[in-house]
Structure 1
Amino acid sequence: MLTIYFAAAALSPSIPAASAAVKKYSVSSYGAKPDGKTDSTNAFLTAWNKACSSPSPSTVHVPAGRFYLKNVAFQGPCKTKSIMFRIDGTLVAPSDYSVIAKVGNWILFRHVNGVIVSGGTLDGQGASLWSCKAAGFQNLEFSNSQNVQINGLTSVNSQLFHIMTNGCQNVKVKGVEVTAAGNSPNTDGIHVQSSAGVTILNSRIGTGDDCISIGPGTTNLWIENISCRPGHGISIGSLGKQLHEAGVQNVTVKTITFTGTGLARGSPGGYCSSTPL
């Protein structure tokens, strides 16, 4: 039996404070070009690897400009548990969706602890894919990570989901803005699955699909002060596809503004318990 519980309980994420001198690694120092055309993927990876291998708190800095990136995986675990990924410019995906569409994600952080992504814009350039309904990529995914923050980030025109947490613990998403055309398919703003202690605050989301979607295995999720326009609102969906699939527990939703939202296509249902209104 699939059982889904709702209760007013959630975790409040925190990131360990840095006590040592912060090391700074600019992607420009390793060859990244802010022209929106030159492939800067290797420069970003080099800066990340320098930060990840340092025992000191570190910052990966992306200056102003447009930086072209193919799919990139920022891999942990790292020696330090405090890395700031500071974006002052725009990261641009390939306009030809076939270049990385089958990879599943564009920018991936995996097995990291204590990473903060702050500021900047992710431009997935997904419009060319939407009409052909091919499989696409997430703009940003955190996988099997903990103690993560995403602050003040703008995500536009993702091929598929914009921001995703999968198998994560203690995540805080605050002040993000997500934008995609109202008719763009499967462009969920924020998708949470198999994650515990995720908090989503003070954000504006407008897409062609769910503003926030909640998948199997999500527990202790807090959503507050969200503007959703347009989109399909906030959904707990696509559950029950597997016989022994994990349920969804302890979801709190407060102070949400829905404008011009519509109904999504139905998904397999479940059993709801303890759902205060």
Structure 2
Amino acid sequence: MTVILTSSSLALAASTSFNVVALGAKGDGRTDSTRAFLSAWSSACASTSTATTIYVPPGRYLLNRVLFSGQYCKGHVTFRIDGTLVAPSNYHVLASIGKWITFAGVRGVSIYGGTIDGQGTGLWACKAAGKNCPFGATSLEFTYSRGITISGLTSMNSQVFHIVIHNCMNVNLQGVQVTASGNSPNTDGIHVEASTGVTITRAAIKTGDDCISIGPGTTNLWMENINCGPGHGISIGSLGKAMNEQGVQNVTVKTATFTGSQNGVRIKTWARSSKGYVKGVLFEDITMNNAQNPIIIDQNYCPHNQGCPGQVSGVKISDVVYKNIRGTSASQVAMKFDCSRKAPCSGIVLDNVDLTYQNKPALSSCTSADGSASGLVHPSSCLAA
């Protein structure tokens, strides 16, 4: 008898799937399924198949603190999630740890679909009441990892940051949705720091802090088709809290809409000495729908006037382009460049910027900022040539 192996049968033979329910997970939202998920991860990492999948069926799966380590993984692992991962309702369980779901030192991990529910409303209420509350836990973090794909994931009600990309290379986030109350504190949608080659596309983010925040050491970051609001906008920073801090370079925001957000595109640095920098930034094809501060550079960031009063920022900001930006501002000062007198902003370019404010003329404000303007620029540029 002759046996013929087709390419499809070979692919089937080379694929392995682990269903978390078969390993003991319960989709009732009450039973702790942490052990079943870790068992699936351990089995997937030990597999020598070329395509290894962990499948999460429909249902609500309660997970406590979980760490997926790539230390012993032999191949790439894909999560296909049709259900919802739920954090403990008692925020103290995770808040003291600071993290909920972490992938550390992994390569080639992909997440497709699914929802993660941080159940952070109790912690938000604690903070709103002015009580003595813990800071809170990040919902999903990738750290020291590379070759990551996150597609179609929804993150809701995180205690603090929803998704953090830390010290990673080549990360692709597409079709991600983030949802939290507009007054939820410190609930950044996506935070990127000390990473390179990160791409964020088709993201819809509604939250109480930055829709996307960009920390020190970020290079080659591309963001496209982003919808933000409510939230604090897309922020590079805050930067410059430490003296020997890595810079931020080669950042692009293209085709974004900000609706009712506190800021549009923002760069903010602490008013203290630092060797950090920001350079090579492009904000292009952006629509503002009543953003409070559509375009802003703030180099005098000093919350509660603690740790920096009387100081000036040492972070050098240069080569920042604002191109094809239009829409409405919720404040009369639609463009504000409040740069450092110690390290003035340079190479700021305004190219076809048209921002309006109700029935009054919009204004621009500049301090220690040099650059140029071309095309239609409204309000009129205040940049020094």
TM-score (norm 2): 0.65
Alpha-carbon distance change, 124 to 237 in structure 1, aligned in 2, over 3 angstroms = same
> Counterpart in 2 of 1:61?
55
CA offsets 1:118-154 (integer angstroms, 9 cap, x no match): 1000000001001333311111000000000000000
CA apart distance, 1:30: 1.1
Alignment match of 1:110 (pick from 104, 111, 118): 104
Deviation at 1:265, TM superposition (A): 11
Q: Please state whether the residue corresponding to 1:159 is helix, strand or coil.
A: coil
- Percentage of matched positions with identical amino acids: 58
Counterpart of 1:236, as a letter, is: I
**1:169 corresponding residue in structure 2:** 169
Larger relative contact order (C-alpha < 8 A, sep ≥ 6)? 1
Question: Distance in 2 between the 1:230 and 1:168 partners?
Answer: 28
For the pair 1:215 / 2:222, whether they are aligned, the reply is no
Q: Secondary structure at the match of 1:28?
A: coil
What is the rounded CA distance, in whole Å, between the counterparts of 2:150 and 2:187 in structure 1?
Answer: 18
Give, in angstroms, the shift of residue 100 of structure 1: 1.2
1:41 aligns with one of 9, 31, 34? 34
Residues 203, 79 of structure 1: alpha-carbon distance in 2 compared, 3 angstrom cutoff: same
Partner of 2:180: 180
Q: SS of the counterpart of 1:241?
A: coil
**How far 1:81 moved relative to its partner?**
3.2
Long gaps (5+) in structure 2:
1-10, 128-133, 271-298, 300-314, 323-385
Q: Deviations over 1:177-219 (max 9, x none)?
A: 1000000000000000010000000110000000000001101
* Aligned position for 1:82: 76
Matched residue type, 2:148:
V
Q: Hey, what does 1:119 align to over in structure 2?
A: 113
- Summarize the alignment of residues 235-254 of structure 1 with structure 2, pairs less than 5 Å apart: 235-254=235-254
Match of 2:19 in 1: 26
Equivalent-residue separation in structure 2 for 1:100 and 1:25 (angstroms): 27
How far is the alpha carbon of 1:19 from its aligned partner? 9.8
1:267 CA drift (Å): 4.4
Given that 1:81 and 1:115 are in contact with CA atoms closer than 8 Å, whether structure 2 keeps it comes out as no
Residues 156 and 178 in structure 2, CA contact (< 8 A), matched pair in contact too: yes
User: What amino acid does structure 2 have at the position aligned with 1:106?
Assistant: W
Aligned CA-pair RMSD: 1.6
Q: CA deviation at 1:166?
A: 0.4
> Higher mean Cα deviation, 18-27 or 261-270?
261-270
The residue number in structure 2 matching 1:227 is 227
Query: In structure 2, the residue corresponding to 1:36 is in which secondary structure?
Result: strand
Counterpart contact for 2:47–2:75, Cα < 8 Å: no
3-state SS of paired residue (2:320): coil
- Give the secondary structure class of the aligned counterpart of 1:201: strand
Q: Deviations over 1:22-77 (max 9, x none)?
A: 11011111100000000000000000010011122210111000000001000113
Q: What's the offset of the Cα at 1:266?
A: 6.0
Displaced runs of 4+ in structure 1, greater than 2 A?
A: 77-81, 131-134, 263-267
- 1:6 alignment partner in structure 2: none
Q: Give the conservation status (yes or no) of the 8 Å contact 2:236–2:268.
A: no
Give, in whole Å, the separation in 2 of the partners of 1:35 and 1:95.
14
Question: How many residue pairs get matched?
Answer: 260
